[in-house]
């Protein structure tokens, strides 16, 4: 009996350590396909005592069945989903990291992906309202119908900023439900990870414990970095940044910055000369040092405004992993790089950059 207890504890320890080690590697942890699982079970039932621990490790790594098909609208959501599922899911992302999430170039291949999906993870709060609806109609997938367990809005439970007091779409405002760029605040990313893990557990209850374990690891890793990021940006508390679009409101709030001036007059509306002249005047008055530009926004416009104000840096940033150089890793890697970029942009000339 004592020997059996030793075997269990040893292999539990080994299996959990092995899993933990694999969790954050870029290559997803090894899982066993249904065929391999069946083979292992057959061999174990043949009475080879030494194979029992191997069988146990299969159970611990996640149940062996067909992979979940998960479609994510944007790369930040996909990065969090991957942290929670590893190899248990096939994850597809619709928007490119360099693409405007409000105006994604919809391709026929998206319909096929949505047709085969078990789960759709979307930003919600009308982030994708300009392009996702018609694709879902064409995909004809009842699993993704509104209200189904497979249809997941990551905005659920998020306190949205900039919610308009009155709904006015007459000028094409793409933030009519509030600001949907909430994932640039890492605290919101923890909430979204919780939402995704809950949804995955409902659709795939056999692996609920696996998703829960990965959720805790993701949150621990992320939350351990937040204090470090707050320290890095603390010297710039209260400083203004200028953005083309209102993408950085949640980031600014989390890290004590101000994001109140935008090159576009309303979200989704291109800049006009009159509006830009007003921005230049306000930047001069407030001594603003930085304009941040995303990959799909006009760097030329930002440079023109910076030249008119004087002593202003134009910094390339992205809200999605892979959108700018150095952010290819994952969500946490993206945030790490963003903190560096914002700190560099806001630093005084002569300060270490
Ligand atoms: Zn937006």
Domain 231-346 has CATH 3.20.20.70: no
The CA 316 to ligand 1 mean position distance, Å, reads: 17
The CA 20 to ligand 1 mean position distance, Å, reads: 36
The CA 257 to ligand 1 mean position distance, Å, reads: 19
The CA 126 to ligand 1 mean position distance, Å, reads: 9
Contact 222, 169 (CB under 8 A): no
Contact 247, 338 (CB under 8 A): no
The helix-helix angle for 75-85 and 208-233 (nearest 10°) equals: 130
Which pLDDT tens digit goes with each residue over 176-235? Answer: 899 999 999 999 999 999 999 999 999 999 999 999 999 999 999 999 999 999 999 999
d(CA 242, CA 291): 5
The CA 345 to ligand 1 mean position distance, Å, reads: 22
Instruction: Return the closest-CA partner of residue 69 out of 45, 89, 87.
Output: 89
- Looking at the chain, the domain(s) classified CATH 3.40.50.1980 span 68-227, 231-346
Residue 297 has pLDDT above 80, yes or no: yes
Which pLDDT tens digit goes with each residue over 240-285? Answer: 999 999 999 999 999 999 999 999 999 999 999 999 999 999 999 9
Q: Where are the beta strands (DSSP E) in 7-82?
A: 68-72
| Percent of the chain as helix, strand, coil, to the nearest 5 | 50, 10, 40
The CA 127 to ligand 1 mean position distance, Å, reads: 7
Beta bridge partners of 90: 69
State the pLDDT at residue 301.
98
d(CA 183, CA 189): 6
The CA 247 to ligand 1 mean position distance, Å, reads: 6
Helices (H), 117-207: 132-139, 186-203
The superfamily CATH assigns to domain 68-227 is: Nitrogenase molybdenum iron protein domain (3.40.50.1980)
The CA 296 to ligand 1 mean position distance, Å, reads: 12
């Amino acid at each position: 009996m004592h020997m059996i207890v030793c075997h269990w504890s040893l292999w539990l320890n080994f299996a959990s350590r092995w899993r933990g080690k694999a969790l954050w590697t870029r290559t997803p942890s090894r899982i066993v396909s249904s065929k391999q699982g069946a083979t292992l079970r057959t061999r174990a039932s043949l009475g080879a005592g030494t194979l029992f621990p191997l069988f146990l490790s299969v159970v611990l790594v996640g149940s062996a069945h067909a992979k979940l098909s998960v479609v994510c609208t944007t790369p930040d959501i996909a990065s969090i989903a991957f942290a929670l599922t590893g190899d248990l899911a096939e994850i597809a992302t619709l928007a490119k990291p360099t693409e405007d999430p409000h105006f994604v170039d919809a391709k026929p291949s998206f319909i096929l992906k949505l047709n085969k999906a078990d789960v759709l993870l979307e930003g919600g709060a009308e982030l994708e309202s300009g392009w996702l609806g018609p694709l879902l109609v064409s995909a004809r997938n009842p699993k993704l119908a509104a209200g189904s367990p497979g249809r997941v809005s990551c905005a659920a439970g998020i306190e949205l900023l900039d919610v308009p007091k009155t709904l006015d779409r007459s000028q094409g405002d793409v933030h009519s439900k509030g600001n949907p760029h909430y994932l640039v605040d890492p605290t919101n990313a923890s909430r979204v990870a919780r939402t995704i893990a809950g949804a995955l557990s409902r659709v795939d209850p056999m692996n609920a414990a696996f998703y829960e374990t990965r959720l805790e690891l993701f949150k621990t890793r992320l939350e351990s970095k937040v204090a470090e990021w707050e320290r890095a940006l603390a010297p710039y508390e209260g400083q203004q940044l200028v953005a083309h679009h209102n993408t950085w409101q949640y980031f600014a709030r989390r890290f004590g910055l101000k994001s109140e001036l935008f090159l576009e007059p309303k979200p989704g509306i291109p800049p006009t000369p009159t509006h830009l002249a007003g921005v230049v005047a306000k930047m001069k008055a407030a001594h603003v040092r930085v304009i941040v530009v995303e990959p799909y926004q006009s760097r030329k416009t930002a440079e023109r405004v910076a030249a008119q104000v004087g002593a202003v840096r134009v910094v390339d940033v992205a809200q999605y992993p892979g959108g700018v150089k150095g952010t290819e890793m994952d969500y946490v890697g993206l945030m790490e790089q963003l903190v560096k970029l914002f700190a560099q942009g806001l630093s005084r000339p002569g300060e270490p950059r």
